[in-house]
A and B are shown apart, each in its own frame.
Chain A
Amino acid sequence: MSDATVPAHRVLGLTDAEYDLILDKLGREPNAVELSMFSLMWSEHCAYKHSKKLLGQLPTEGPYLLMGPGENAGAVDVGDGLAIAFKVESHNHPSAVEPFQGAATGVGGILRDIFAVGARPIAVLDSLRFGEPTGTRSRYLLEHAVGGIGHYGNSIGVPTVGGEIYFEPAYEQNCLVNAMALGIAPHDRLTRAAATGPGNVLVLFGALTGRDGIGGASVLASAELDEDDADKRPTVQIGDPFAEKKLLECSLELLDSDLLVSLQDLGAAGLTSSSSEMASKGGLGLDIHVDRVPLREPGMEPFEIMVSESQERMLCVVEPSKVDAVLAVCEKWETTATAIGEVTDSGHLRVLQGGEVVGDMPVPALVDDCPLYDLAPEKPATPTYPTAPRALKAADDDLQATLPELLGSANIASRRPVFEQYDWIVQSRTVRRPEEADAAVLTLPDGSAIAVSIDCSGRRVAADPYRGTVEAVFECAANLACTGAEPLGLTNCLNFGNPEKPHVAWQLTESVRGMADACRALDTPVVGGNVSLYNESGGGPIYPTPVVGLVGRLPEAARAGRLGFAQAGDAIAVIRAASPSLPASELAKLRGDALPDGLPQQDTGALRAAIELVRDAVRRGDVRSAHDVAEGGLAVALSETALAGGLGASIDLTQVGGSTCQSKPLDEQLFGEAPGTFIVSGSRELLASLKAPKGVALAVSIVGEVGGDTLSIAHTGGTLSWTLDELRTPRERGLGDLLDDATRLDD
């Protein structure tokens, strides 16, 4: 176990200065219970001590906002008296240790955040990052993480409607598993977490408490923990979706019956963080009797009970007269419930065992007094990330072979092998399934719908943290626009390396600035999110990965856009707000090109105008398909559109507008990437009526016609042509083939 010469606070991740501050706040030495609780509440995960100052830049006000950052989940108004609550959260480290349970409990955790605010979960999306799929470890992580997500989501009856997966060497040592959930609630059921009313009772309900995920705090037991004492070791968290389903129904019935003052889920740092945050928000104190907490295993120490991360538990505050009614509802749902403490006006969080105080801390010291650090950002002088070797077999001038190979590459190939393991239609709200439209679309009772997208290209953020993050936000908005939806609110999960390193600090600072500017440019508030730092082990930091989840609304579910060509004879138009470029693109990566230092300058006004033009066209029914051009550029997007509709197209590349497009080399025109580019199809007259607003640098050009069973692209030097089968085979089989190759290498 730990070296006896290292003080416990350092092993728990507290600096000497932080420990001195704790001494000062308490006026004495903390005991084991207090030290373990401080170490968790003052961790990056709970205190955001390296990111809080930056996060203040993000806009958090908007016309549809009902509940902003600081609650278990944010919520926006979707009309008809209904609200949508949503949030994204990381479960990176547990997933690296045990991918199946790590990803499963990640889904369980984010679902609890949703029903803790009184919303019924209606959808899950996942954002996953792994090393190259040719590696056996990446394949293992992918298969088990996807299995865990499916296991939890499918079992509890919440559809997994979308997500994204990227494979990059930078995630080899540190996979990312981010889960987003959405829930629906009548406005008046939205619930906050603040504990109020001294004398009110604290009730813990749900699963029993065991030694799950105690992690670093187990050092406090080191005196008693020797090799024969495996029973006392912290254990991997195991998800139990059926227990969560009962917890969900129980929580919503308690709220509907108006039995609760407030409700909070237990996540990271367990009872410690949920209780102290409830007390802090209410400006009150709490007494917790750990000997009343129902335990799964005997002999747990008070500190273990306070920091346990056992899943499927909730904490609520109840008026004394309603406790019996609360316990009765819990019994109906076969959910263990116990009164474990009281709200006090002491301003202290006290932990009691057998009536004896074993921990006593001022709530503000735990929650608010953690020092916040300024970052020391510095742009790195030399490239941070090694350049991967060339993986593309097609020669640079063989564009005929390049497109099929690109369509079968890891980041572009169809995600069908993954999403077909998920139930995406349970609850019967899903009107656009994965790969049918650019965003998932879920219908609301009044006939309108919400659309949701999750996205971030870490490689482009690595090339340019500011512009890469702006792109990620606009990419989500573009996805929404293709279904006809207008953004209402944004959630994010900032996955970065160690912020104490200057170049990571620079990535984080620039990325948050980019997110703030992009949100302002789109008039979209951030409703909440999550920060996951220190994602580096062995091979250096991950690509900076500010995952963006965007929720929007469209007036008519029946008019939600699709991405595939719909009708032979339709005209095809390209809407373009920026010129494509190859550096940092998918093709450049596969060719083994180094990451550029910076992405091209962006005109956010033009990007927004492109998004609005497409959204309005979809809403009016002027276009029969709409697809945003992303990884792999125009040629890949045209292939996706053709394959999704089962219809070919003939395109005249020389008609694609935009002042600088035509002067670029052919490979850059075909495969270069840029935000704000769309392919739409529909009747020639209606497409001809699509006009960019005056004074905006936005090109709208009719470039071809839908029909046949080939995709042909005429350019100044000739014509490239592929049958749909030549495109479909690599796109459909690419991911499966890559994973199979990894299996063979393993043998």
Chain B
Amino acid sequence: MRVLVRPKAGILDPQGQAVERALPALGFEGVSQVHVGRLVELEVADPAQLPAMCEKLLVNPLIEDYEIVSIDGAPAASAAGAAG
């Protein structure tokens, strides 16, 4: 399974800003809205436990949203946009 973690919309994302500033410096124009998150890959016997794992450890639900996808790419669950 994969857990995609990204900064919540609107929250300060220093990594994203740094990348957004660095790309034009390397000559890549027209880049905006860069957000940097992280990817957690894991095998779990019971995928139903994944949301709890995310809320308790893998994700900081105060500042991050997450999305659980199975390794073949099909979305399994998402907390994007859920009430924080």
Binding site for B on A (CB under 8 A): 97-98, 101, 207, 210-212, 227-228, 230-233, 235-238, 240, 242-243, 296-297, 310-311, 334
Do A296 and B63 contact each other (CB < 8 Å), given the known contacts A227-B83, A228-B81, A230-B81? no
When the two chains form their complex, are residues B14 and A235 in contact, meaning their CB atoms are under 8 A apart?
no
Asked if A235 and B11 make an inter-chain contact with CB atoms under 8 angstroms apart, the answer reads yes
Interface presence of B82 (CB below 8 A): yes
Task: Count contacts on B: residues with CB < 8 A to the other chain.
Answer: 17
- Rounded to whole Å, the gap between the CB of B73 and the closest CB of chain A is 25
Within 8 A of A (CB), among B1-53: 8-14, 17-18, 21
Please determine whether A235 and B10 come into contact, CB atoms closer than 8 angstroms.
yes
Q: Is the CB of B62 within 8 A of A98?
A: yes
B14 touches A242 (CB 8 A): yes
Q: In the complex, are the beta carbons of B83 and A296 less than 8 A apart?
A: no
The listed residue (B10, B63, B81, B82) touching A210 by CB distance below 8 A is B10
**When chains A and B are docked, how far (Å) is the Cα of A389 from the Cα of B83?**
40
**Residue in contact with B9 in the complex, picked from A101, A231, A237, A310, CB distance below 8 Å:** A231
Known contacts A235-B11, A236-B11; 5 additional CB pairs below 8 A are A230-B83, A235-B10, A236-B62, A238-B63, A240-B17
Mostly, the B contact residues are loop
Which chain A positions have C-beta within 8 A of B84? 230, 233
Identity of the chain B residue whose Cβ is nearest the Cβ of A229 in the assembled complex: B81
| Nearest CB in chain A: distance from B12 CB, A | 4
- A242's nearest neighbour on chain B, judged by CB, is B14
Residues from chain B with Cβ under 8 Å of A212 in the complex: 11-12
Chain A: CB-nearest residue to B60: A98
Binary contact readout B42-84 vs A (1 if CB under 8 angstroms, 0 otherwise): 0000000000000000001011000000000000000001111
A210 to B18, CA, bound (A): 17
Nearest chain A residue, comparing its CB with the CB of B10: A297
Please name all residues of chain A whose beta carbon is closer than 8 Å to the beta carbon of B21 when the two chains form the complex: 334
Q: Can you list 20 A-B pairs with a CB-CB distance of less than 8 A? A: A98-B62, A210-B12, A211-B10, A230-B8, A230-B9, A230-B82, A230-B84, A232-B10, A233-B10, A233-B84, A235-B11, A235-B12, A236-B63, A237-B12, A238-B11, A240-B17, A242-B14, A243-B14, A296-B12, A297-B10
Q: Which residues of B contact A242 (CB under 8 A)?
A: 14, 18
Rounded to whole angstroms, the CA-CA distance of A297 and B11 in the bound complex is 9
Q: List B contacts of A207 (CB < 8 A).
A: 12
Task: Indicate whether A210 sits within 8 Å of B62 (C-beta atoms), given known contacts A228-B81, A230-B83, A334-B21.
Answer: no
Contact at B10–A296, with CB atoms within 8 Å? yes
In this complex, which of B10, B12, B21 has the most chain A Cβ atoms within 10 angstroms of its Cβ? B12
Closest partner residue, chain B, to A232 (CB atom):
B10
Alpha-carbon gap, A240 to B14, bound state (A): 6
Q: How far is the CB of B35 from chain A (nearest CB, A)?
A: 12
CB–CB A238/B10 < 8 A: no
A175 to B22, CA, bound (A): 39
